[in-house]
Amino acid sequence: MIALIWAMDENRLIGKDNMLPWHYPKDLQYFKEHTFNQSVLMGDLTYQSLKTYYKTKPLPFKKSYVANINDATYPDAIHVKDLFDFLKTTKEDIYVIGGRTIYQLTLPYADRLYITYILGTHEGNVYFPPFDLSEFKWIEKRLEEKLIFSVYERKQP
């Protein structure tokens, strides 16, 4: 199972200078509930961004995979150089946790989407690419203040 999890505002904004453009504790809690002790996949830039929060503490995942076209080694993560081979062959449940590039490349492989819609607009410079939800069905929706926690599953053929 490959799941993407992200938060975006009404303009599809997801990032600001390699950080989140906002601070919504409820969304951070939701992210933690779904990814704690799971195997996650992220792009190199998202990994660098996370490491600013987890400077001294270990990353809170079972396994962290980091996609990077260049040769790289990570002290606490596994380098994924061939992203598509990884997506096609992995037998693990994987949560894709960003950023824009990696969401865009992995969306065709996603079985499930966890999207937090944030009402309103914010300042930033990284946007989720335009995408089509017609191949997914909405299975869960919960509104909490400015946040709509939504879950989609890919329709079976």
Ligand X SMILES: NC(=O)c1ccc[n+]([C@@H]2O[C@H](COP(=O)([O-])OP(=O)(O)OC[C@H]3O[C@@H](n4cnc5c(N)ncnc54)[C@H](OP(=O)(O)O)[C@@H]3O)[C@@H](O)[C@H]2O)c1
Q: Among the candidate windows 57-65, 100-108, 135-143, 148-156, which touches ligand X by CB under 6 A?
A: 100-108
d(CA 103, CA 140): 21
Q: Is 18 in the site for ligand X (CB under 6 A)?
A: yes
Q: Is 99 in the site for ligand X (CB under 6 A)?
A: yes
| Residue number with CB closer to ligand X (74 or 92) | 74
CB within 8 Å of 66: residues ≥ 6 apart: 41, 42, 43, 44, 47, 72, 74, 77, 78, 79, 80
d(CA 146, CA 40): 26
Q: Is 126 in the site for ligand X (CB under 6 A)?
A: yes
Q: Is 28 in the site for ligand X (CB under 6 A)?
A: no
Q: Is 94 in the site for ligand X (CB under 6 A)?
A: no
Residues 35-54 that bind ligand X (CB under 6 A): 42-46, 49
Q: Is 15 in the site for ligand X (CB under 6 A)?
A: yes
From 24, 18, 70, 76, select the one nearest 49 (Cα to Cα): 18
Does residue 137 sit in helix, strand or coil?
strand
Q: Is 119 in the site for ligand X (CB under 6 A)?
A: no
Q: Is 102 in the site for ligand X (CB under 6 A)?
A: yes
**What sections of 7-155 are H helices per DSSP?**
25-35, 44-53, 83-89, 100-106
Footprint of ligand X (CB under 6 A) = 6-7, 14-15, 18-20, 42-46, 49, 67-70, 83, 97-102, 105, 126
